[in-house]
């Protein structure tokens, strides 16, 4: 497993306690069929974030309603379609492209995408989630199935004071580029580091110094 994957995994595990319920959408329990009513449509999550289609379609255990297309002892990969709200997937692709353009890197469309769940044995034992955007299917195969990831566009959610922030990891192995950014819920760049690190440093600077 490559160094980048271990690096991102370390950040994910450090953020376990910071994931809050409003960032997810859970399906309600199925209702009994009514023979006098019109055929029922498939249940969809009713909880939303920022008043739009849910960010993620997960159950109460933070798992998608589909089977993974690849898994091992540490992580599982799911296709994004049907797991991430379409509007949110496109927004992440636009943000990733905005950041990648700063180094002249390839764009992503958002269609070649995976949701990665990393198992954890801490707290409620809910899996850690990241969104992986790929520039093409060849890169996706290398990143998921191979021992190296030529280019990555990894997104990690960070919720603070009911506001959704996003940490982005933008890399290009051949050009030796590795960038990290923190964006707010309006796609504004707040820092060139992970969001948890940015807010930790900010809180440390704003806290009153001990008086002697």
- State the average pLDDT over residues 23-32: 40
Residue 163, domain member (yes or no): yes
Residue 169, domain member (yes or no): yes
Q: What is the pLDDT of residues 84-99, one digit of tens each?
A: 999 999 999 999 999 9
pLDDT bin (cut points 50, 70, 90) of residue 159 is confident
Q: What was the pLDDT predicted at 24? A: 43
Residue 116, domain member (yes or no): yes
Q: What was the pLDDT predicted at 203? A: 85
Mean pLDDT rounded to a whole number for the chain: 80
Q: What is the pLDDT of residues 179-201, one digit of tens each?
A: 999 999 999 999 999 999 999 88
Residue 70, domain member (yes or no): yes
Q: What is the pLDDT of residues 124-150, one digit of tens each?
A: 788 888 999 999 999 999 999 998 999
| Edge-to-edge strands, sheet with 75-79 | 70-71, 75-79, 113-118, 128-133, 151-160, 163-172, 177-183, 189-191
Residue 34, domain member (yes or no): no
Residue 29, domain member (yes or no): no
Q: Indicate whether 47 pLDDT > 90.
A: no
Residue 177, domain member (yes or no): yes
Q: Is there a contact between 126 and 148 (Cβ–Cβ < 8 Å)?
A: no
Structural domain count of the chain? 1
CA distance 161 to 68: 32
* Strand-strand pairing, 163-172 and 151-160: antiparallel
Could you tell me how far CA 72 lies from the centroid of its own chain?
19
Q: What was the pLDDT predicted at 11? A: 43
Q: Is there a contact between 133 and 105 (Cβ–Cβ < 8 Å)?
A: no
Q: Indicate whether 34 pLDDT > 80.
A: no
Q: Which residue range forms the structural domain that includes residue 192?
A: 3-24+45-206
Residue 150, domain member (yes or no): yes
């Amino acid at each position: 497993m490559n160094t980048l994957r271990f690096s991102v995994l370390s950040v994910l595990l450090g953020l376990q306690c910071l994931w809050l319920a409003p960032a997810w959408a859970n399906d309600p329990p199925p209702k009994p069929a009514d023979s006098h009513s019109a055929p029922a449509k498939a249940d969809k999550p009713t909880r939303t974030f920022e008043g739009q289609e849910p960010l993620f379609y997960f159950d109460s255990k933070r798992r998608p309603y589909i089977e993974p297309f690849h898994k091992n002892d540490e992580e599982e990969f799911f296709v994004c379609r049907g797991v991430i709200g379409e509007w949110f997937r496109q927004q992440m692709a636009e943000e990733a492209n905005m950041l990648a353009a700063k180094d002249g890197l390839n764009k992503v469309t958002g269609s070649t995408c995976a949701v990665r769940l990393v198992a954890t044995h801490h707290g409620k034992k809910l899996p850690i989630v990241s969104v992986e955007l790929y520039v093409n299917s060849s890169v996706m195969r290398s990143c998921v199935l191979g021992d190296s990831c030529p280019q990555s566009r990894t997104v990690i959610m960070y919720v603070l004071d009911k506001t959704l922030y996003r940490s982005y990891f933008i890399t290009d192995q051949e050009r030796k580029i590795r960038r990290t950014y923190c964006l707010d819920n309006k796609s504004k760049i707040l820092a060139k580091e992970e969001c948890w690190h940015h807010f930790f440093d900010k809180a440390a600077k704003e806290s009153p110094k001990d008086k002697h």
